[in-house]
Amino acid sequence: MKRHIAFFALGLMIATLSAQQVTRVHVGDNQNYGITYSLPATLVRVTADATCTTVRAGIYAPYAEKYLGVKDAPMEDMVTWTITSVDIKAESEADTTRTFHVNFGEKVVAPTFYLAPGGVLAGINREPEAIGHKCEKVVMANADTPAVHAVDVMNEELLKAGSKSKQAEIAARQIFRIRESRLNILTGDVDNLPADGASFQLVLENLAAQEAAYMELFTGTSSTTAVHRDFVYRPTAEGNDVLFRFSRHFGFVAADDLSGEPYRIGVTVTDDKRNVPVLTDAKGKAKPQASGVAYIVPGRAQVTVSHKGNRVAQGEWAMPQFGHVEYLLPTQFTDKKKPASALFDPLTGALQLFQTEN
């Protein structure tokens, strides 16, 4: 018969541990019959996606409305940046300030430890189950480029025109000719129609490309590029700091560059467990602090990312840096008849499962 005592970590965190990343360490293989390991600390990764749109004005932009009826053609080159999304997730790393060494001695049944990356404690006498990765979204955005460019359609008649206004008039007239030709083909009002469907489609595509190239002369071109940035923040106390700055003209800039508007990250501790409970004996005297196999009773904190006072992303997780350390007796894991086993959350340091055999 088995007796189980299970402890579940507070909150949900994005998992980064996989079976291949767990290192098995048998204490008996070490000459000093001991092991050194760390407990984790939470870090926050903020992912910001933005688009950079580059607009190049057409050389005949001032005549777009006069000859084509286009009222919003850009009159000058410009670059515009826009934040499209901000995501936040919690990860973990080894906390070098919470590194422990436990000696077991050579006359005991040596336990087996399982360590996550960075030497973070994940299990004793029991291998952790694999935790899957979360796939990251990849954004690609590119503007369609016409097969024919504006410079390719600037023919002799257009180039010899005496003024820009005259050139624009000739270019506009050519656009209407192309549209008329396409309409005639679609309605069958031509002497020689394309021989088959493929040829028909090819002719229409060529006409569309030529029209787009002429339109570039008036409406210009626009291309959009997706930009991805990661920012890592390590919460250590409550506060509100500038995480990064963003400019609609220059994109992501340094946190101290005032050309950009600040995106701030705030930390609020919602369950503070940093104060270690004081244990007393029957006479009310404080007991000495325990020692052994350390794990964490984590606290909780809410993290928000805001811009101009508006919340754009938030999350709340169990965080070991806002918790305190507890201990398990090492002898429980070296019992010859019924050695205990334990699992620890490599993201929060919390005890997830403690099991003994009866």
Q: What is the pLDDT of residues 244-255, one digit of tens each?
A: 999 999 999 988
pLDDT band at 222 (very low <50, low <70, confident <90, very high): confident
* Structure-model confidence comparison of residues 168 and 155, the more confident one: 168
Please answer whether residues 55 and 257 qualify as being in contact, where contact means their C-beta atoms are separated by less than 8 angstroms: no
- Phi, psi dihedrals of residue 132, rounded to the nearest 5°: -75, 160
Q: How far is CA 72 from CA 59, 76, 146, 172, 175, in A?
A: 15, 12, 20, 16, 18
Give 88: exposed, middle or buried? Use CB within 10 Å, 0-12, 13-18, 19+: buried
Q: How far is CA 171 from CA 61, 77, 212, in A?
A: 12, 21, 12
Reported pTM: 0.70
Q: How many structural domains are present in the chain?
A: 1
pLDDT of residue 338: 85
Torsion of CA 156, 162, 166, 172, to 10 degrees: 10
With H, G, I as helix, E, B as strand and everything else as coil, classify residue 357. strand
Q: Is a pLDDT exceeding 60 seen at residue 43? A: yes
* Arithmetic mean of pLDDT, 334-352: 90
Most confident of 218-222, 254-258, 306-310: 306-310
- Complete DSSP assignment for 172-216: HHHHHHHHHHHHHHHHT-SSS--SSHHHHHHHHHHHHHHHHHHHH
* Structure-model confidence comparison of residues 320 and 184, the more confident one: 320
Q: What percent of the chain has pLDDT over 90?
A: 42
What does the mean pLDDT of the chain come to? 81
Residue with tokens 């701030």: 264
pLDDT of residue 108: 80
For the chain, the 3-state helix, strand and coil shares in percent, each to the nearest 5, are 20, 40, 35
Residue 61, domain extent: 1-358
Please answer whether residues 137 and 123 qualify as being in contact, where contact means their C-beta atoms are separated by less than 8 angstroms: no
Half-sphere exposure of 110 (CA within 13 A, CB side): 18
pLDDT of residue 219: 87
- Distance CA(133)–CA(88), nearest Å, equals 16
- Distance CA(18)–CA(193), nearest Å, equals 63
Torsion of CA 246, 247, 252, 253, to 10 degrees: -90
Lowest mean pLDDT: which of 12-26, 53-67, 216-230, 260-274? 12-26
* Arithmetic mean of pLDDT, 1-26: 48
With H, G, I as helix, E, B as strand and everything else as coil, classify residue 29. helix
Q: Is a pLDDT exceeding 70 seen at residue 10? A: no
